[in-house]
Structure 1
Amino acid sequence: MPGFRVTERSMATTTLTNLQMNLQRNQDLQNQLSSGKLITKPSDSPGGAVIAMQHRSDMATLNQYSRNADDGMGWLNMADTALTSASTQLNRARELVLTGLSSGTSGSDQAREAIALEVDNIRSSMIDLANTTYLDRPIFGGTTSGSLAYDKTGTYQGDNGEVNRSIGANASVRVDTNADSVFGSGNGNVFNLLQRISDDLRNNPSALDTDLADVDTAQKRVQTGLSGVGSRYNQISQMQQSAENRVLDLKAQLSDVEDIDLPKTITELSLQQTAYQAALAATAKVIQPSLVDFLR
């Protein structure tokens, strides 16, 4: 085989190139150790960078679902509180109707007037509960831009729109509560019922039997509404927990892609530094002074 001429210059060039590669590897390990990351730019690992970006995108989406769930649970918490109080108020109204029935037409006008005044107060309180707001929006008013679901006369001021929150890839839950389903609609709503009870206590005690049955119906509507609110709250809570668990899984997977193995990296850096020192020592022996150096 023909031989190849090896010059001092080619030896020096090759040796310096190898030293530079060794030094670059040393620097890469130091960068990894100082940053704690295997990937600091896409060129470090194109495939890993794509996976990391996808994980981050998925985490951002899941975190948004979790924030939506927080907002939805805020709406439903307010509805639960308002309907629980409304149920208590209706229980008291029922007791007052029974008191009016027990006294009948033979009871004193003053006693019935006192009961009627308390019913009036319950009606006013019920309207306030129906106007409960969350972040300045009435929770029983649909998508209305106004601040009230009912005016002082008990007339509905909202609309039939629904407030929904997306809590998963294919899951959307209504977080407001339909006013008609819990308070009744039109002239048959609970506010008109309480007004009628007040009028009957003052003027027509014999009609209280019918009023009592209507109060029981109104109470059932409120309790059904409470059950629906609780069911939706549980659904949102479970979906939020699922999203948070998935975020934890993605963080672990992202760490596997991006983060260094600390003990392994420290060991590699130590070995690399030892190798570099050995290469420097070997280079010093390989590149000896040439004839040119002696002629200077």
Structure 2
Amino acid sequence: MRVTQGMLTNNMLRNLSHSYSQLGKYQEQLYTGKKISQPSDDPVVAMKGINYRSQLTEVQQYKRNIGTVHNWMDNSDAALDKATKAMQRIRELTVQASNGTYEDGQRENIAKEIRQLKEHLGTIANTKVNDKYIFNGANTTEAPVNLNDFTVDSEATPVNIEVSAGVQIQVNVNSEPAFGQQLFTDIEAFVDALEGDGDDEELSDFLDTFDKHINDIINERADLGARMNRVELIEDRIDAQEVSATKMMSDNEDADIEKVITNLKTQESIHRAALGVGSRIIQPTLMDFLR
């Protein structure tokens, strides 16, 4: 085959273009820190990257859900703690009022404090988190307790949030045992007995009633605590999955900077050599041979 000057020139330009492309590739990797800049660079890496990124996005969504779960549960636990203390104070006052040494005026003062504690319990039952009532089941827009007449319209519908693939956790507390209508009815009955002619035995009978309410609140808090412990275990597993997914995505997409720098330096040397050879190939002209 006859090799002409034009063929040599075209080959040189084609090789120089390829060399520039390789230089651009390594410079892009060095600048972005990624192996590829577009799917066509390596379809396998690109497809794996999509899968790993989807997995990481899913894990991060679960972490946000768990944050919401903690918010519900922590506030519910704090509210139940305050409710327990309020009921314990009511029990203390019940013991005092039924010991037979209190006069009518003193009983009236106890009745006033009991009423304040009842309002306090109603306020606790109407606790809101992120503008949502946490003790009214799925109906988070309406208060479970009407503080005007202390009627209770709470729902026992569980509120579930997905915290892992196929795993949902109930974040709310069953409000009926903790803040049901019977609680406020019993407290009001005790106040009526204090302000009326209730004898010591009648008043002391309320001790068992209030003990039951205290136990109901404690039991709901214990059930909540068990779910909180499970959430912590799930959270640890989700954290481990996030680390794993991040590492897999990094191994798949991130460029080996040391290798990239070495390849870039090598390609620069090759490119300089190609430019030097090319300058000698295209240098001769007819005038050079006529001189």
Q: TM-score, length-normalised on structure 1? A: 0.90
Q: Give the conservation status (yes or no) of the 8 Å contact 1:143–1:158.
A: no
Hey, what does 1:5 align to over in structure 2?
Answer: 2
- For residues 157 and 183 of structure 1, what CA distance do their matches in structure 2 show? 10
Q: One-letter code of the match for 1:204? A: G
Deviations 1:9-53 (A, max 9, x none): 222222322222122111111111122111111011101011111
Q: Give the conservation status (yes or no) of the 8 Å contact 1:63–1:244.
A: no
Number of positions where the alignment pairs a residue of Structure 1 with one of Structure 2: 288
Hey, what does 2:156 align to over in structure 1?
Answer: 160
Q: Does 1:270 align with 2:258?
A: no
Hey, what does 1:201 align to over in structure 2?
Answer: 194
Q: Does 1:117 align with 2:106?
A: no
**Paired residue secondary structure (2:136):** coil
Hey, what does 2:16 align to over in structure 1?
Answer: 19
Q: Does 1:181 align with 2:174?
A: no
- For residues 62 and 279 of structure 2, what CA distance do their matches in structure 1 show? 63
- For residues 145 and 245 of structure 1, what CA distance do their matches in structure 2 show? 33
Q: Does 1:33 align with 2:30?
A: yes
Map 1:139-288 → 2, pairs under 5 A = 139-152=134-147, 153-184=149-180, 186=181, 189-202=182-195, 203-205=197-199, 206-287=201-282
Q: One-letter code of the match for 1:198? A: V
Map 1:80-99 → 2, pairs under 5 A = 80-99=77-96
- For residues 139 and 207 of structure 1, what CA distance do their matches in structure 2 show? 35
Hey, what does 1:66 align to over in structure 2?
Answer: 63
Return 5+ residue gaps in structure 1 as ranges: none
Q: TM-score, length-normalised on structure 2? A: 0.92
Compare 115-124 and 218-227 and name the one that shifted more: 115-124
Per-residue deviation, 1:284: 2.9
Identity value in percent? 29
**Paired residue secondary structure (1:167):** strand
Return 5+ residue gaps in structure 2 as ranges: none
**Paired residue secondary structure (1:102):** coil
**Paired residue secondary structure (1:159):** coil
Per-residue deviation, 1:156: 1.6
Per-residue deviation, 1:248: 2.2
Q: One-letter code of the match for 2:127? A: T
Q: One-letter code of the match for 1:68? A: N
CA RMSD of aligned residues (A): 2.0
Hey, what does 1:100 align to over in structure 2?
Answer: 97
Distance change >3 Å, CA 7–CA 292, structure 1 → 2: farther
Q: One-letter code of the match for 1:191? A: F
